[in-house]
Structure 1
Amino acid sequence: MATAAERLSTVQALYAEFIDTFGNVLFAVSLLAIWGVMTLIGVVIDQGKNPSAYFNEYPAQVARAVLRLGLDHIYHSYEYVGLIGLILVSLTVCTFKRVIPARLPPLHPVLVDKIPLHAFIEVNGSEPAVRARLEGFFVKAGWHVRHKIFNGVEWTFADKHNWARRGVLVAHLGFAIIAAGTTLYWLKGYSGAVAILSGQTVQVPQNGDMLTVHSFNYTIKPTQTRGGLVYQPVDYVSDLTVTGASGAATRNLLRVNHPLEFDGIAYYQASYGYGVSFRLTQAGHPVAGVPATPLFEGDAFPVGPTGRSIQYSQFVGTIDPRAPSGIGADPRPFNPGVVVTVLDGEQPLGQEIIPLGRAVDLGGGYRLEPVSYRLYSGIEYRHDPGIPLVGLGALVLVAGVCIAFYFLPARLFVRLEGEGDRWTVGLAAQTPKGYTMFEEQFAALVASLQRSEEATVS
């Protein structure tokens, strides 16, 4: 059985290993790099959308990978929050074991001639007078002067920009505030997206708000480019009513790039499209299983008991037989149709462009007809109570980085040796950024002190 001393030694060894690991700068930088990559993934991949939206936006293999790896809600994943926790632990260890001892060293004597930046100056006068002149010189030059006695020897310490030593600590605090804001979003926040047909009302599942799109309009501007005529959406807007769980309602125009705020929820006009109603018959009789409401892109329905299904893949505004793909450049519904994909399980068997209002033969007596279309509005919503904290943390982080990089704190160690009226001033300087950056300033300070003493003697 291990003795108490052996157990204590084991605990001390584990503690030392923990400090070495989490206090390692390379380890902390690696964690920050991984956090940056995960955050970038969350920026590139739209978060909180319906699975069908990813299949519409990406190839099937990529969409499946996004969903299986949980990249559609990465900010709410345990891995992301756990990584932030590790970063906070690492920052805490680095702060108290590395940054504070290096940036905020206690007053202590030094061997003046062993420090690279040092000088010796011969001065005359009584000890109190010399000390008073030295203190006056440093104070006039903007240095904060303190005195302390070690083993009967009085040392003078002069600091400039001593507050700037805390720049790294301020930056650490900023990241901690950002982490708190991110955690608050993880605990209390949510986001998502809904597709609402014109005239339809949809409930937001997280908060019970009812969204009603009374109408939807868009503006497309044809633009001539070197590659040809391009039809670019320049504006799309929903006439939207938001009704809260309490019954309070507000009606506004929700325009692209102009979010609407309601009870702490931000609503964004994100996209639009066309919902299409289909009719499937066999031998002239309707086939069960076809939704009565319009389908959105990516939706599918079964073809009777055949094991196959029809997926509505794309709305075609203008069918153009002259185009290689049969799809014209103009997305506006002048000669509309749809692209459908025939699926056998999840395996696509082929695609077909079907003009609106025209039935096509699927074989086995089945006929498929896209009957009509309705515009729908794609609306994203987000509730993030951590935004004020994240904004504050970013400001504090930038302030800390600016302080750390643009201000140079320095400390002077001054020792007076001699007797009577003849004294030698030993002067040394240290900075947390090394000696080279302060070399010219130190030389100018020593020269100024020498001129001051010469002027006093004369």
Structure 2
Amino acid sequence: MENLQCKCGHINPPGTILCESCGRSLTEEEKNKQLVDMRYEGTARRSQTYNKSIIDKIWNFFSSVKVGVSIIVILLVAAAMGTILPQEQYINVPDRNDATIQAYYADVYGEIGKIYHFLGFHDLYGSIWFIVLVGMLAISLIVASLDRFVPLYRSLKNQRVLRHQSFMNKQRIYANGSAPADTMQKSEEKLKQLKYNVTVDKNGLLAEKGRFSRWGPYVNHIGLIIFLFGVMLRMMPGFYVDETLWIREGETRAIPDAPGYYLENKNFIVESYTGEGDEERFEEAIERVGSVAKNYQTDIVLYEAPDESLPGATENMETVKEHAIRVNQPLKFDGYAVYQMDFRQNELRSMTFDLTNKESEESLGSFTVDLVSPEESYDLGNGASVDLLGYYPDFSGFEDGEPQTATPVPNNPGFLVRMFTPETPDGEVSFIVIQNTIEPLGDNQYKLTFQSAETRDVSGLTIRKDRTLPILGLGGLIFMIGVAQGMYFNHRRFWIQQQEDGSVILAGHTNKNWFGLKKDLDQVSEFASLPPYIDQQEEIEKQEKLKKEQKMEGDELS
């Protein structure tokens, strides 16, 4: 595209609709308008000028407001979809991994759960496509801001005092008439009193204030870009951690996403209100629900492994801190915070069985199965032993003749065993679950009799670390500054020019709050005896209304 030369001689960049020097309309479309388009001061925007190369097309795509709004709508719809089923961090799945999480959604929610997991809605804010959309929104904000800010800034910085009469008489506020000889001096004096920045050139005057309000939307965009940058940083390792750790009493486990740190659960405590003494105020609630928690806490020990240790190694660990984690009283270390969020009581830890003769009830000995790490064989002495052929922590039934387990948590343990005694050296097979025994190969001479069980509590901890909060806070603060800047302030301008015959031409413009502009102009007009002004937008609306009424009257007569 070629540069546009105005009649005043100024060379304007291609795409300009109002001359940067005198303000004349440069396009036929703009010449036919009753009022000039002052949104971007008539300057050329790159997106409306170039459309040849692939870079131009990409720039034009992301500079479109429609594209930006569409991305926002898609993100909002996706966020709403993410609330239909719980996010993966809020589901209770022991030994969390992709397979167990996928199985959970399929088992609990069926086909909908499978599709939900496949599309990544189970971890919405960590899914690749959601991150890509957030990145596209950030790019759209940057490109759209640059596409509009740069030409607008250049135009306002270099705006001229003297403007062509066609520019003046196409402004919304316009006046033309005779005035006293000292009108210009008095106008300058009064405008300065009203805190306007006044520039005088020859027989012209430009008064301006509140230009900074024009940058409000772009400050908003800067705040949003910083905020989105903070959101995307959460996807980077080490910046954001929000993990769940289920740890049993007596167990030592590595802290997720905190390399080198381990937690040992020394003890878990639950205390409830009794409704006695100072706790009488809870008596009604206790009677209604049965129990009201007073405190639940995990007494833990924090360890740190030496730097030279292999991943997962627990030898030579150093004690860092001992702490009682309670609700809203987390353990804090190295930027991490460990919160008490949930618990499970009386989880089976071990079970003790007797090997007895079914007829005589004679016991050949007992053994204890550790339900976390069971052994393959148990020797009872005197030639008796029990081999553990299969262990199913959460027995859920048979599928094609094979025992199945729903979860790795020992909620309903099942054991497939082979029992050896002096009378049965080849062994007898039995499948045992709580309160039920199956002998798949026929009646056995011996059986396993349940004697006792040991339980323990499990504490649900949440590990959190967020280094992006300062960035998010800064982005939010800048965004709110931009909102106040653009909403509560406005850009007001007056052009006043004295003609050779002594008459005065006045034009006024503001990006919002025309009432405030007129109020200022009334004060200047009264003080400096400016000619009466008209609001041309109101005149245009009156003419259009009158035409509609005349048309309606003509239709009624016909």
Tell me, yes or no, whether TM beats 0.5. Answer: yes
For the residues of structure 2 that align with 1:429 and 1:263, how far apart are their CA atoms? 56
The offset of 1:376, in angstroms, is: 1.2
Q: Kindly indicate whether residue 477 of structure 2 is the aligned counterpart of residue 406 of structure 1.
A: no
Q: What are the equivalent positions in structure 2 for 1:24-423 lying under 5 Å apart?
A: 24-38=64-78, 45=87, 47=89, 50=96, 55=104, 59-61=108-110, 64=114, 67-99=117-149, 101=151, 105-106=155-156, 107=159, 109=163, 111-120=167-176, 122-125=178-181, 130-147=183-200, 155-188=204-237, 189=239, 190-206=241-257, 207-220=259-272, 224=284, 228-229=288-289, 231-233=291-293, 235-245=295-305, 247=318, 249-274=320-345, 275-277=347-349, 279=351, 291-292=372-373, 300=394, 306-311=401-406, 359-364=434-439, 371-407=453-489, 409-419=490-500, 422-423=502-503
CA contact (8 A) 1:313 1:341 kept: no
CA contact (8 A) 1:290 1:301 kept: no
* Residue matched to 2:528: 453
Task: Check whether the contact 1:184–1:386 (CA below 8 A) recurs between aligned residues.
Answer: yes
Q: What's the secondary structure of 1:424's corresponding residue?
A: strand
For structure 2, the 5+ residue unaligned runs are: 1-48, 274-281, 307-317, 357-365, 375-391, 416-432, 441-446, 531-558
Q: 1:373 to 1:34 in 2, by over 3 A?
A: farther
- Assess, with a 3 A threshold, how the Cα gap between structure 1 residues 306 and 394 changes in structure 2: closer, same or farther: same
Q: Work out the percentage of aligned pairs sharing the same amino acid.
A: 19
SS in 2 for 1:258: coil
8 Å Cα contact 2:493-2:510 kept in structure 1: yes
Q: Is residue 351–residue 454 contact of structure 2 (8 Å, CA) maintained in 1?
A: no
Q: Secondary structure at the match of 1:403?
A: helix
Higher mean C-alpha deviation, range 34-43 or range 73-82: 34-43
**1:61-111 Cα shifts (integer Å, max 9, x gaps):** 366555444445433332232122211111112102235546874325362
CA distance in 2, matches of 1:66, 1:259: 33
1:380-419 Cα shifts (integer Å, max 9, x gaps): 1123322211121122122222322232x22314131323
**Quick one: which amino acid aligns to residue 394 of structure 2?**
A
Q: Residue 212 and residue 271 in structure 1: after superposition, are their counterparts in 2 closer, same or farther (change >3 A)?
A: same
Match of 2:16 in 1: none
How big is the alpha-carbon RMSD for the aligned residues of Structure 1 and Structure 2? Answer: 4.3
Deviating more after overlay: 222-231 vs 384-393? 222-231
TM superposition shift of 1:13: 5.5
TM-superposition CA deviations, 1:306-325 (whole Å, max 9, x none): 4222446999xxxxxxxxxx
Cα distance, 1:16 vs structure 2: 4.6
Q: TM-score, normalised by structure 1?
A: 0.71
- The SS at the match of 2:236 is helix
What amino acid is the match of 1:145? V
Partners of 2:349 and 2:370 within 8 A in 1: no
Secondary structure of the structure 1 residue equivalent to 2:373: coil
Partner of 1:354: none
- Other-structure match for 1:430: 510
Q: Which amino acid aligns with 1:211?
A: L
Residues 237 and 227 (structure 1 numbering): CA distance in 2 closer, same or farther, change over 3 Å? closer
**2: CA distance, partners of 1:92 / 1:15:** 15
Structure 1 residues 38 and 270, CA, compared in 2 at 3 Å: closer, same or farther? farther
Secondary structure at the counterpart of residue 79 of structure 1: helix
- Call closer, same or farther: CA 1:341–1:63 in 2, change over 3 Å: farther
CA contact (8 A) 1:281 1:367 kept: yes
Contact 1:276 1:374 in 2 (8 A): yes
Alpha-carbon separation, structure 2, partners of 1:430 and 1:122: 25
Q: Which residue of 2 aligns with 1:353?
A: none
Please say if residues 105 and 114 of structure 2, whose CA atoms lie closer than 8 Å, have aligned partners that are also in contact.
no
Structure 1, unaligned runs of 5 or more: 1-8, 316-337, 343-357
Higher relative contact order structure (alpha carbons within 8 Å, sequence separation ≥ 6): 1
* Aligned residues of 1:215 and 1:239 also touching (Cα < 8 A): yes
Shift of 1:450: 1.8
Shift in CA distance, 53/241, structure 1 to aligned 2, threshold 3 Å:
farther
| Structure 1 contact 155–413 (Cα < 8 Å) conserved | no
Task: Write the deviation string for residues 346-397 of structure 1: whole angstroms up to 9, x where unpaired.
Answer: xxxxxxxxxxxx9411533698968332111111112332221112112212
Tell me the amino acid that sits aligned with residue 12 of structure 1: K
In structure 2, what is the Cα distance between the partners aligned to 1:10 and 1:133? Answer: 47
The one-letter amino acid paired with 2:247 is I
AA partner of residue 246 (structure 2) = A
Q: Structure 2 CA distance, aligned partners of 1:385 and 1:429? A: 46
Task: Give the structure with higher Rg (CA).
Answer: 2
In the superposition, the TM-score normalised over structure 2's length comes to 0.59
Letter paired with 2:249:
S
Q: Aligned partners of 1:448 and 1:24: how far apart in 2?
A: 41
Distance 1:256 1:65, change over 3 A: farther
CA distance in structure 1 between the aligned counterparts of 2:242 and 2:123, rounded to whole angstroms:
9
Q: Pick closer, same or farther for the CA change 1:418–1:240 going to 2, 3 Å.
A: same
Alignment CA distance shift 1:374-1:141 (3 Å): same
Q: Partners of 2:402 and 2:368 in 1: how far apart?
A: 14
Aligned length in residues? 392
Could you tell me how far apart the structure 2 residues matched to 1:260 and 1:19 are?
A: 49
Change (3 A) 1:219 1:281: closer
Distance 1:303 1:425, change over 3 A: closer
Amino acid at match of 1:292: S
The aligned residue for residue 443 of structure 1 is 518
User: Does the aligned pair in 1 maintain the 2:256–2:463 contact within 8 Å?
Assistant: no
Partners of 2:216 and 2:50 in 1: CA distance: 36
Inter-CA distance 87–162: structure 2 relative to 1 (3 Å threshold): same
Q: Aligned partners of 2:78 and 2:184: how far apart in 1? A: 58
Q: Is the 8 A contact 1:258 1:268 kept in 2?
A: yes
Amino acid at match of 2:329: H
* Pair 1:255–1:289, CA change in 2 (3 A): closer
